[in-house]
Amino acid sequence: MKDGILDLATIATSMDMGRLGPATYIMTSSGLPAGPSTIDCVAWLYQGDGISVLNDAYSDYCYIIGAASGAAELFCHSNKPLETAADFKGLKFRALGLWGELLAKHYEASVVELPGDELYSAMERGVIDAFEYGPPETNWAQGFQEIGEYIGLPGVQSPGYAKPVLVNKQWFDKLPADLQELLRNECGTMALESYGRIRYESALAMKKFEDYGTKICYVSDEFQRDIAAKSRAMCEDFAAQDALFNTVWQHQLAFFGVWRSTSPITPAYTIFD
């Protein structure tokens, strides 16, 4: 992007760990344990001015003009239930990012980092015992129902994400002002449309998993609370050591402190349940 090879792209910010450090974990990337949902991410970017925060971080490379959203990921694919912290001890588990760090540091898992296209064969050959990857629609399309008897819910290790849209500065600056604004607006529309599409296709995929005979295991409330507490502690440690992480972290703490005050307003039960 910086060298002009690409004019427009979306990325998982965690891919920029080498340049920007651990702050990329909380820049609406996937794999933030007990982090914001996709709608939370979009709200921070657009209502919380998170796009400006990302633009400051990426100022040497490109502009950030919007985001393409995803959906909550499955907790795992496995051949035994993974419901408690004890279930991860010694487990060869594929994970990336902060979730991988947390599993290795606190839950004694043997974390293996593998790209998505190697997971099927790695699971077949016993290189890994279990793994997490993406939302149900993505995982079904990869055929993971064939290599794991169980899927885990909820996706506490990655509740949502929004991939920033990056544009080459020289290319964008040459566009007329009205086209720049049009592109920004289209990215805003995409953030919601992509979320709706992926979430609905994931709902259809869950029915496919059910029809296939895949079993569901559920992460215990105690384990979820512990994951949230340990994930926050790791974020606070990063904030104490890394200036960029602290900048993003403090901005998000202020925004979500307000945003989440509406949580008790949302009913737990609907006519569709």
Mean pLDDT of the chain, nearest integer: 96
CATH number at residue 55: 3.40.190.170
Return the pLDDT at 136.
98
Which bin fits 6, alpha (ψ -120 to 50), beta or left (φ > 0)? beta
Residue 1 has pLDDT above 80, yes or no: no
Q: How far apart are CA 99 and CA 82, in angstroms?
A: 15
Alpha-carbon gap, residue 99 to 257, rounded angstroms: 23
Q: In this structure, is residue 272 part of a structural domain?
A: no
- Cβ burial of 83 (10 Å; 0-12, 13-18, 19+) is middle
Which of 153, 185, 206 is the last residue in one of the domains?
153
141 and 42, same structural domain? no
Whether residues 149 and 47 share a domain: the answer is no
Residues 173 and 257 in one domain: yes
Please report which confidence band the pLDDT of residue 271 belongs to, taking 50, 70 and 90 as the band edges. very high
How much is the pTM?
0.94
Give me the mean pLDDT over the 149-164 stretch. 97
Q: What percent of the chain has pLDDT over 90?
A: 93
pLDDT of residue 140: 98
Say whether pLDDT at 152 is over 80.
yes
26, amino acid identity: I
pLDDT of residue 230: 98
194 CB-near residues (< 8 Å, 6+ apart): 68, 69, 70
Q: With contact defined as beta carbons under 8 Å apart, do 164 and 10 qualify?
A: yes
Regarding whether 193 and 148 lie in a shared domain, the answer is no
Same domain for 16 and 37, yes or no, is yes
- 197 near 58, Cβ under 8 Å? no
Q: Examine the domain organization and report whether 162 and 148 are in the same domain.
A: no
Q: 84, 222 in Cβ contact below 8 A?
A: yes
The tokens for 135 are: 């939302």
Is 269 in a helix, a strand, or coil? Answer: coil
In a domain, 170, yes or no: yes
pLDDT tens digits for 99-144? 999 999 999 999 999 999 999 999 999 999 999 999 999 999 999 9
Tokens of residue 9, six digits: 């792209």
Q: Taking a C-beta distance cutoff of 8 angstroms, is the pair 123, 159 a contact?
A: no
143 in the same domain as 206: no
- pLDDT at res. 25: 96
Q: Is residue 195 part of a domain?
A: yes
**Residue 85: which domain range?**
76-153
In this structure, the answer to whether residues 91 and 130 fall within a common structural domain is yes
Same domain (yes/no): 169, 120:
no
pLDDT at 88: 97
Q: How confident is the model at residue 216 (pLDDT cuts 50, 70, 90)?
A: very high
Q: Residue 12 in contact with residue 163, Cβ under 8 Å?
A: yes
Using the predicted structure, report yes or no on whether residue 79 has a pLDDT greater than 80: yes
Strand partners, 9: 166
CA torsion sign for 42, 43, 46, 51 is negative
- 132 in a structural domain: yes
Say yes or no: 238 and 103 in one domain: no
Same domain, 50 and 161: yes
In this structure, are 174 and 62 located in the same domain? yes
What pLDDT was estimated at residue 3?
A: 78
**Considering 126, 153, 180, which residue would you say is the last residue of a domain?**
153
Flag whether 270 is in a domain: no
Is residue 225 one of the residues assigned to a domain?
no
Question: What is the reported pLDDT for 146?
Answer: 98
When divided into structural domains, the chain yields a total of 2
Q: Give the pLDDT of residue 5.
A: 83
